[in-house]
Chains A and B, each alone.
Chain A
Amino acid sequence: GENVEQHPSTLSVQEGDSAVIKCTYSDSASNYFPWYKQELGKGPQLIIDIRSNVGEKKDQRIAVTLNKTAKHFSLHITETQPEDSAVYFCAASRAQGAQKLVFGQGTRLTINP
Chain B
Amino acid sequence: GAVVSQHPSRVICKSGTSVKIECRSLDFQATTMFWYRQFPKQSLMLMATSNEGSKATYEQGVEKDKFLINHASLTLSTLTVASAHPEDSSFYICSARGTGNGYTFGSGTRLTVV
Contacts and interface: CB of A to CB of B under 8 A. Distances in A.
B57 to A, nearest CB: 7
B44 A45 contact: no
A32 B108 contact: no
Contacts of A43: 6, 93, 105-108
B75 interface: no
A36 B106 CA distance: 13
B101 interface: yes
Contact of B93 (A32, A34, A44, A98): A44
B110 interface: yes
Summarize B's interface: helix, strand, loop or mixed: strand
B46 A101 contact: yes
A44 B44 contact: yes
Interface residues of B, number: 23
B61 interface: no
A104 B106 contact: no
Interface in B59-114: 91, 93, 95, 97, 101-108, 110
Contacts of A42: 107-108
Interface in B14-71: 32, 34, 42-46, 49, 57
Contacts of B49: 98-100
A104 B43 contact: yes
A78 interface: no
B101 A41 contact: no
Contacts of A102: 46
B44 A51 contact: no
Interface of A: 32, 34, 36, 41-46, 49, 51, 89, 93, 95, 98-106
The 7 closest A-B pairs by CB, nearest first: A43-B105, A43-B108, A43-B107, A103-B43, A103-B44, A44-B105, A105-B43
Given A49-B102, A98-B57, 5 more contacts: A34-B103, A41-B91, A43-B105, A89-B44, A102-B46
23 contacts: A34-B102, A34-B103, A41-B91, A41-B108, A41-B110, A43-B105, A43-B107, A44-B44, A44-B105, A46-B102, A49-B102, A51-B101, A93-B103, A98-B49, A99-B32, A99-B49, A99-B97, A100-B49, A101-B34, A101-B95, A105-B42, A105-B43, A106-B43
